[in-house]
Structure 1
Amino acid sequence: MRESARRALVVAAAAAATALLAPGSAFAWGDDHGEGAGSGGSANGGASGNTLTARAGQSSIAIKQSGGESSKAPTGSLASVDPTWKPPACWYEPVATPEQLKGAVDRLKQNPNKDLVAVTPTLSWGEELMVDYYEKGKSQDARDKSYKNYNLGRNGMFWRGVINKELKDDVAAWDCERLLFWQDAGTVPDDPNAPTPKTLAAYAYNRIRVPDTEIELKPEGRSTLNLPTWVWLDKGVFQEVRVRAELPNTNLWAETTAKPVALHLEPGTDDAETYPASGDCKINDDGSIGTPYSKGDADKDPPCGISYLHATDGKPYQLKASVTWRISWEGTGGAKGDLPDGTFETTQDMTVQEIQAVNR
């Protein structure tokens, strides 16, 4: 087990008698803002929205997507071409002002048998431990100085770990079990799991939504044996998609950009040829893919297309079309970099007839 998780479990064992005997929900500050909302709060311990819920550990990162407006098609998420890549399993975020923390403990005093305060993503404390640690200054974590009266009057916030819900079963998710701790305003924790622009960029990656791959075909949905089916996408159908991630109460932000770079075709049968042979149709300089079919092109090989060598027999082939999106990011302080390419795939039926001549 990782060292940070081990320390947290030692504290948890000491706290169990108080924390676990008090049934009910855990205090958390704010909602899950992962889909574009911002965080809010007031000096008396209340925050806007669903203030004190049991959803401790969820992120307050605000997400906003732009780009790709020309496509009205449904959207989906990207799959990384690198099966080993994954975003951070956990990180730390500011969650409460001194006034908000005091307000939460005051509510504990009024409801000692009902509510708990989340001090890590997985551990919650009752009134006695909260008062000892954050009001009276009886520290239980050597990494943090003792707190007196919730640090009222100081400029900063208390931070707590957040677990990436998509990686909640990853062992690395235990690395952010540090007890709710203080951080001065304008600074980030001196901790390996402190948030960075790259953290936000990776978080944004999994929230990119791209348009469905609706390719143009000639002939449409019905191919002719041994004659090529032309495939293309008009320019402007696929545009760059940008997702901006901002962490409230910090100056941290990142914008992750997905740029379409190629279309890959899989005919749905081994009895077929693709154009080009790799099945990878490059995006042209004007943003289009392939070339639209024109009369007189029947005897030409398309720059992007398929030729089926065996007719279907009642059951259509499943033509798969996937667009590759190149991912880059930039963020606070001029930070920038690349992330693994992503793909988005759709499937459509293709019926192949044996007629040797067709009016195109």
Structure 2
Amino acid sequence: MTESTPANSDITINELGGVTAIPGLLSGKVAVVTGGGQGLGLAMARSLVDSGAKVVLADMNEESLQAAVTELGGDGVATGAVCNVSDLEAVEKLAEAATTAFGGIDIWVNNAGITRDATIRKMTEQQFDDVISVHLRGTWNGLKVATALMREQDRGGSIINVSSISGKVGNPGQSNYSAAKAGIVGMTKAVAKEVAFKNIRINAIQPGFINTAMTAAMPQHAIDSKLAEIPLGRPGEPEEVASVVLFLASGLSSYLTGTVTEISGGRNICSRSPSPRRGDVCVEPRRGGPTFPSHLCRGGSPDHREKRPDVPAGTSGRCRSVGSVSHLAFCVPAGTFQPDGRAASARVSFSRFACRAGGRRRRRPCR
């Protein structure tokens, strides 16, 4: 396969106007991408290959690996290795395979991950340990092996750790995942300080709501709820995550290390949601609560609302609760109407998502 260069090929731009590849930018470089058989990992690998790098994919699914290698252009530019990243010996063998195939490693992307979602009440120790093992220990294993090899090569390198916006704000039902992703941020900064003198740069990314097979399977009301929190008003595309990885992998980011880049369309940039006021009623969203955009409430108070044409007349803005109110509850002024036409009442029967006072659940309006 002939490597393209800026002189004879155009920069690849996606439908949204984003740059997904710069031919020749990574010529002569070798990259390892864990979890690279599909999804975000494959998009990252594609961007690296299209920019001139040779890529070694690691994944637990051998069929996905073979299909991915073929899609990327075959053995001349890519190869695959079955690897359990939570096993240090397996990660060491992955590095050996990359060195044997392409002569070294310049870029390492710690992307492999799993989910085992459950509330803290129902989550088992095994579910917690499985997620921590793959995400946190897996990233540590990748860092340990990659930095050791890059120090021996004495030509520097770039390592990108894939965290998540969940590691910043936490997701209900994902205490294991959120903890692991938060841990990756601290690990990134710590190891970046240890190896910077060898010109080994380590940075993290935190993707938000991205179009993948997993998010596509979510119920529509859940998708709408997440989109309402994104100022850009749309989910991200895998290629938009890959373009940030490309930037961090290349010399374009030569003075960046220990950084964390959010790829979230602006989601969670607000430090505080509007506070509930006396007389507001808590409504559980799983039982008919408001589902219209959260940004209808602005200015730090439910009194400051910006109505939009797509919101039915008579509805109140959805204000995320804070303080004494459960994070899964919403507050709407008593007497106003919910989207389904039912009037909110101060006599709403609250469930476990109710307003709280002194740590106990109460059936009462927010105060």
Fold match by TM threshold 0.5: no
Which structure: greater helix fraction? 2
TM range (shorter): under 0.3
Q: Which has the higher contact order (CA 8 A, sep 6+)?
A: 1
Calculate the TM-score normalised by the size of structure 2: 0.24
Which structure: greater strand fraction? 1
Calculate the TM-score normalised by the size of structure 1: 0.24
Larger Rg: 1
